[in-house]
Amino acid sequence: MSVLLFTALVAIGSFSAGLLGALTGLGGGIVIVPMLTLLFGVDLRYAIGASLVSVIATSSGAAAAYVKEGYTNVRVGMLLEIATTVGALGGAYLAGRIGTSAIAIIFALVLLYSAYRSTKPLAEHVSTENAHPLAIKLRLNSTYPTPNGFQPYAVQAVPAGFGLMAAAGVLSGLLGIGSGALKVLAMDQLMHLPFKVSTTTSNFMIGVTAAASAGIYLARGYIDPSLALPVMLGVLAGALTGARVLARANTKVLRKVFAVVVVVLALEMLYKGIRGGV
């Protein structure tokens, strides 16, 4: 295959991943690595490097809009970024130490979990009481815009959320993904942030988390410019398009389709990881 054709196909594939990721809310990053390795035969390490770069692009692009709307809780984001960056450094370090087969198996399990999560919506828990003592001390409690004006919310379970975010950071550094599913779980379910706040704050943190591991990937020679460029531009263009057509799309059907795609990719990744030869 010529460089020209390869670049065009990778860009089209990445665009589709970015589009579906934005429409379903799952993020495109999670299917980039399986697509590159299974479909295009790219080495897993190059694929993870390219995916990390695309994660930074989409999260920074989206965060630019979200931060201005007033949903993002910058204090919660900054505090939890300590956990995710430490985790990401650890994950990127591990990625150079454990074999690609083990990484493929872990990746497959994360894909399966994300597909499961996408079909089982979680309940929102928002309250103005029972804030964790640390939330008061660190001034994490805040307000968010609703149709009835700005509503206050109290942040709970700060230490548990911090711990789960460290784990999300490890996965991000190890697999080159945003770990959005785990982040939202920690912030919605443990810390009881409103959905809009947890989604946008998680997105705000993803760029920083990915940048922490991207530095290590760059120094290790895992970031190939001719591969990372079409992936990054494709995912970014797809995500921006997705955000524009979101209001008109039937996301319920799309989520199911995307969940099936993710499960198929996960099983293939699992098979390759167990058999070897990723």
Smallest separation, CB 71 to another protein (Å):
10
CA distance 211 to 217: 10
State which of positions 144-173 bind another protein (CB under 8 A): none
**Could you say which of 33, 38, 181, 212 contacts another protein (CB under 8 A)?**
212
Close Cβ partners of 249 (under 8 Å, ≥ 6 residues apart): 23
CA distance 164 to 115: 19
Helix locations, 120-250, DSSP H: 133-137, 158-175, 180-184, 195-220, 225-245
1 in contact with another protein (CB under 8 A): yes
CA distance 187 to 72: 12
Helix locations, 70-157, DSSP H: 74-95, 100-119, 133-137
**Could you say which of 14, 24, 51, 72 contacts another protein (CB under 8 A)?**
72
Residue 216, both tokens: 């290590």
**Could you say which of 22, 53, 157, 165 contacts another protein (CB under 8 A)?**
53
Which of these segments, 1-9, 18-26, 104-112, 190-198, binds another protein (CB under 8 A)? Answer: 1-9
**Could you say which of 61, 113, 163, 196 contacts another protein (CB under 8 A)?**
61
**Could you say which of 118, 125, 215, 264 contacts another protein (CB under 8 A)?**
215
Which of these segments, 3-11, 110-118, 191-199, 251-259, binds another protein (CB under 8 A)? Answer: 3-11
* Identity of the residue, 92 or 115, whose beta carbon is nearer to another protein in the bound complex: 92
**Could you say which of 70, 117, 160, 243 contacts another protein (CB under 8 A)?**
70
Of 104, 75, 66, 54, nearest in space to 211 by CA: 54
Task: Give the three-class secondary structure for 151.
Answer: strand
254, 119, 159, 196: CA torsion to nearest 10: 40
**Could you say which of 121, 225, 247, 248 contacts another protein (CB under 8 A)?**
225
Close Cβ partners of 14 (under 8 Å, ≥ 6 residues apart): 28, 32, 35, 54, 230, 231, 232, 233, 234, 235, 238
Smallest separation, CB 122 to another protein (Å):
27
Give residues in contact with another protein (CB under 8 A). 1-4, 6-7, 40-43, 45-46, 53, 56-57, 59-61, 63-65, 67-68, 70, 72, 74-75, 78-79, 81-82, 85-86, 89, 92-93, 96, 138-139, 207-208, 210-216, 218-230, 232-233, 236
